[in-house]
Copies of this chain bind each other. A is one copy, B any other.
């Protein structure tokens, strides 16, 4: 999936500038792009070329002109079509698992230290997600059903990090048991 549909999604709420979109992407976890200008401004040019959005230029005296993008009828149709299209499975790039694959090279203390670092990071990330859900920064909540969907989206992320934490705890405990020589086959 490409960033264009997410942009169309945001524009389906209200007209926005590239700068606005940049902040929306930067502020949220599950919009996983970094929110960098390059991608967003190029995507907007492309969407404009395809007439999925229209552009209005607002003059400003001391700042650069604002380019306000509005979704068109075709844009809404394209968004709607994508929303209904067959879903993809998530892509998980778990670099740490690759690291673990050869972690038998490490002595027990160093391995445990590595796992502890990972655990701390995952916990920190979990807190960030939970805090983000609590604040509910960008929540359209136009209907109760939509509010429910957004809550469940946040739950998905939170659950992911909780699972990750539980897993690393189990792993560390298992390795300690190993050290004490009481491991089953």
* B160-A9 in contact (CB<8A): no
* A87-B99 in contact (CB<8A): yes
A contact residues, total (Cβ < 8 Å): 67
**Total copies of this chain within the assembly:** 2
* A175-B148 in contact (CB<8A): yes
Instruction: Report if A32-B87 is in contact (Cβ < 8 Å); known contacts: A152-B171, A174-B152.
Output: no
List residues of chain B with CB within 8 A of the CB of A79: 102, 105
Which of chain B's residues has its CB closest to A151's CB? B174
- Provide the bound-state CA to CA distance between A148 and B88, in Å: 31
* A98-B148 in contact (CB<8A): no
Q: Which 8 A-B pairs have the closest CB atoms?
A: A104-B146, A1-B95, A90-B94, A91-B93, A87-B96, A87-B118, A9-B102, A30-B97
Can you show 19 pairs from A to B with CB atoms below 8 A apart?
A30-B101, A32-B92, A83-B99, A83-B103, A83-B105, A83-B106, A85-B99, A87-B99, A90-B94, A90-B96, A91-B94, A91-B95, A92-B92, A92-B160, A97-B153, A100-B153, A148-B178, A152-B170, A159-B167
